[in-house]
With several copies, the nearest count.
Chain A
Amino acid sequence: MAAARQWIARHGRRLVVALPLLWLLVFFLLPLVEVAQTSFTVARRGIPPFAPLWGFGEDGFFTNFNLENYGLLLDYWQDYIGPAGNSLRLAFFSTLICLLFAYPMAWWIARSNPRRRAILLVLVMLPFWTSSLLRIYALIGLLNPNGFINSMLMFLGVIDTPIRMMQTDFSIYMGMLLTYLPLMILPLYAVMIRLEDDLLDAAADLGASRAGVFLTVVLPLTLPGIIAGSLLVFIPAVGEFVIPALLGGPEQIMVGKHGRQGVVDRILPQP
């Protein structure tokens, strides 16, 4: 009886561990394998927009294995260099701009009292809850030549003709900022909340100026958060195509947009 209970206890614990492991295997590893397999198969119209690499049809085992896609890459690599450069530049500056905005905000949140801190964190996370497309459209509404900001400035008499803000680098970076800022704020907040006030006071007490305290104490101790946040923003920003497509000019061709035009768009269900 007791032995049986112990067996169940042990078995149950294994099940609890096995379940998430299995999940990770199936839904994280397998998709990656799928993506890799896709690179060796052939494109077709349909959902998904490619043929299976191998399988069992009516005639038994079949395979679509070929290196044609890599051949295409070799043939047309020059077409991809430009967009790749654009994507990397966009991602780099987006990351930098996010960092510049996120750093003082994360600092402010981390130094607030716990009650206000919770409210501010929710505010920072809130945009994640609204549809990203809706957010982008709201931004377009703000930045348009006859949008809110221009109307406001003209109403106030600051400007006579609308400023061109849409379809510029400015509008793209605004969109990136609006989308990725929370990913930068959270890791910065996480390191800043652990930064003891006493360390700052100690540096000031030992004669450091404000800039000195920042450079010798705050910056080195928040560096892990800067690195983590930058990675979190940079990696998805490289593959971003919605924001440049909606906010950028026609000259903006990114790797993500390019890839989407090549593969994904064809199969997006048309209304």
Chain B
Amino acid sequence: MSPFIRIRNVTRRFGDVVAVDDLSLDIDRGELFCLLGASGCGKTTLLRMLAGFERVDSGSIEIDGIDMAAVPPAARPVNIMFQNYALFPHMSVADNIAYGLRRAGLPKPEIVARLEELLRLVRLTGMGARQPLQLSGGQRQRVALARALARRPKLLLLDEPLAALDKKLREDTQFELVDIQERLETTFIVVTHDQEEAMTLASRIGVMDAGKLVQVDTPRTLYDRPRNRFIADFLGTVSFLEGVVTSVNGGFVSIDGAVSVTAADPGGFAVGDAVRMAIRPEKIALGRAPSGGVNEIPVTVEDLAFTGVATNYRVIGPDGVRLKLTHPNRRGDVVPLEWEQTGFVSFDPADVVLLRD
């Protein structure tokens, strides 16, 4: 069986700029897929090509086995939830949500029934008569979602669905969005520049850079096994160390640089290779005294920041090596070191990611 969405060698140029560059991607039915990238990486162009608002210069897009080249936006089984929602300001909440149903010429009783169902789905029952401007940001987001879902699209595109919400609301809303997606089993493609949003929402993430997909994987794989420096840096905080491979032995690689590090062998590295090591802040343990394990480095605390849930440290090791680490403020976990104190950090060889760039 062919995949639900089949993007093959799609390219789109604006003048000299290649917005989307020979991109191929398959997405399965019912997935919550996330296109992640910085602004200008081409993710929004790809989204608009799926919706039919943007021409495809070369390549093809198939949705549910049908080539979309000749299908105008209104006829595609696709709806889009716009960034900033694009609610019609001159229509009530109900008229906004029913807009697509009216265009489709549905009979009035069916429109009313469907409207009630949608209002219930997004927990806005009884607010149909309100004007969009009278709503809070979170309510507006839910109206936009209901409007985009009204025509029961096979594919829903969401352009930065949480960007306009404040931090606290964002967390609740992302759980809600995942719930609705799971209940309806509609395929969702979310475009975002926020790596945390992507990781919490998506079953799979495609990271885009300069019009190309750099890596497509589950959030956990992307975070724990980034393919290159760009991905490692883009998805969360990371510390980089540089060095040269001195031995490859029994599943471990030894690397010499400002500090000596032992890493689990991912294969493909030989003695003499220059490597960059990426280590996540939560994988580094900090203690007052050495524990005698591998990868233990004496450090001085340069900065520390209490964030509530955790305390973030910046420490300096030998040769000015800087590491960022985070220490959860859990029960029983005492904060091990204060500002300008010295101690030791250590990390597991399995938590060291070796990169070539």
Contacts and interface: CB of A to CB of B under 8 A. Distances in A.
Interface of A: 2-3, 5, 196, 198-199, 201-209, 212, 216-217, 220-221
B86 interface: yes
Contacts of A204: 53, 73-74
A212 B99 CA distance: 11
Interface in B48-105: 51, 53, 70-74, 78-80, 82-84, 86, 88-90, 99-100, 103-104
A2 B99 CA distance: 24
Contacts of B104: 207
16 contacts: A3-B70, A196-B86, A198-B83, A198-B84, A201-B80, A202-B147, A203-B88, A204-B53, A205-B74, A206-B79, A206-B99, A206-B100, A206-B103, A206-B147, A206-B150, A208-B103
B133 to A, nearest CB: 13
Nearest to B78: A205
Most chain-B Cβ atoms within 10 A of its Cβ — which of A196, A205, A209? A205
B280 interface: no
Contact of A198 (B70, B86, B147): B86
B87 to A, nearest CB: 8
A2 B88 contact: no
Contacts of A217: 88
A206 B144 CA distance: 12
A198 B103 CA distance: 18
A220 B90 contact: yes
Given A202-B147, A205-B51, A216-B99, 13 more contacts: A5-B72, A201-B51, A201-B53, A202-B88, A205-B74, A206-B79, A206-B151, A207-B74, A207-B103, A207-B104, A207-B151, A208-B74, A220-B90
A196 B78 CA distance: 21
Contacts of B90: 220-221
A205 B73 contact: yes
A221 B100 CA distance: 18
Contacts of B82: 198, 201-202
B76 to A, nearest CB: 8
A204 B151 CA distance: 13
Contacts of B86: 196, 198-199, 201-202
Given A203-B99, A220-B90, A2 B72 contact: yes
Contacts of A5: 72
Interface string B280-316: 0000000000000000000000000000000000000
Chain A contact residues, majority secondary structure: helix
Interface in B15-63: 51, 53
B53 A199 contact: no
Nearest to A9: B72
B89 A221 contact: yes
Nearest to A208: B103
Nearest to B75: A207
A217 B147 CA distance: 15
Contacts of A220: 90
A119 to B, nearest CB: 20
Interface pairs A-B: 5 shortest CB-CB: A206-B100, A198-B86, A207-B103, A202-B86, A207-B74
Contacts of B84: 196, 198
Contacts of B99: 203, 206, 208, 216
Nearest to A221: B90
Contacts of A199: 86, 88
A220 B90 CA distance: 7
Nearest to A219: B90
B68 to A, nearest CB: 12
A57 to B, nearest CB: 53
Contact of A212 (B80, B83, B103): B103
Nearest to B74: A207
A139 B222 CA distance: 70
Contact of A205 (B71, B80, B88, B89): B80
A5 B72 CA distance: 10
Given A199-B88, A221-B89, A221-B90, A205 B79 contact: yes
A202 B103 contact: no
A146 B214 CA distance: 70
Nearest to A5: B72
A46 to B, nearest CB: 53
A163 B79 CA distance: 55
Contacts of A221: 89-90
